[in-house]
């Protein structure tokens, strides 16, 4: 039984199993799928110089790039907002507050307990 360079034999209870070493590194991932990625030889050589585990290195690079692209998309949406968003922002907070009803029956403040924040102690009932 030949073993490739990515596998090793593990002897458990006198039974020999062939195990892929990448399995042990991906067990902590929520779900892992095996994919084939084609990279230039010089990139692989450089990865091998800085990281022993290629899969982990590539996964971290992909996560980093996805985060970078999300930030870039968010920045782009702030710089060039959707026209409806621009209209809503033009209304302004003051106008929004003025449109709120004067009285709200959602909360009856007379039934509550007065409290105040004291640094180092937290919330405490306010003395009458």
Q: What is the pLDDT of residues 22-65, one digit of tens each?
A: 555 555 656 788 999 999 999 999 999 999 999 999 999 999 99
pTM above 0.85, yes or no: no
Identify the pLDDT of residue 20.
Answer: 57
The closest alpha carbon to 118, from 127, 128, 108, 106, belongs to 127
Identify the pLDDT of residue 32.
Answer: 82
pLDDT digits (tens, 9 = 90+) for 83-117: 877 777 766 767 777 777 777 667 777 788 888 88
Contact call for residues 19 and 8 (beta carbons, < 8 A)? yes
Neighbour tally for 19: CB within 10 Å: 14
Q: What is the largest CA-CA distance in the chain?
A: 84
Domain boundaries, the chain: 7-92
């Amino acid at each position: 039984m030949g073993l490739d360079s990515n596998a090793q034999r593990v002897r458990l209870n006198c039974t020999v199993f062939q195990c892929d070493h990448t399995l042990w590194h991906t067990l902590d991932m929520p779900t892992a799928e095996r994919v084939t990625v084609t990279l230039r030889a010089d990139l692989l050589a450089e990865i091998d110089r800085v990281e022993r585990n290629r899969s982990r290195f590539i996964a971290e690079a992909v996560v980093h790039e996805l985060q970078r692209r999300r930030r870039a998309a968010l920045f782009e949406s702030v710089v060039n907002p959707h026209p409806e968003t621009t209209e809503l922002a033009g209304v302004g907070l003051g106008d929004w507050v003025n449109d709120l009803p004067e009285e709200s029956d959602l909360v009856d403040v007379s039934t509550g307990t007065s409290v105040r924040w004291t640094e180092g102690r937290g919330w405490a009932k306010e003395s009458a």
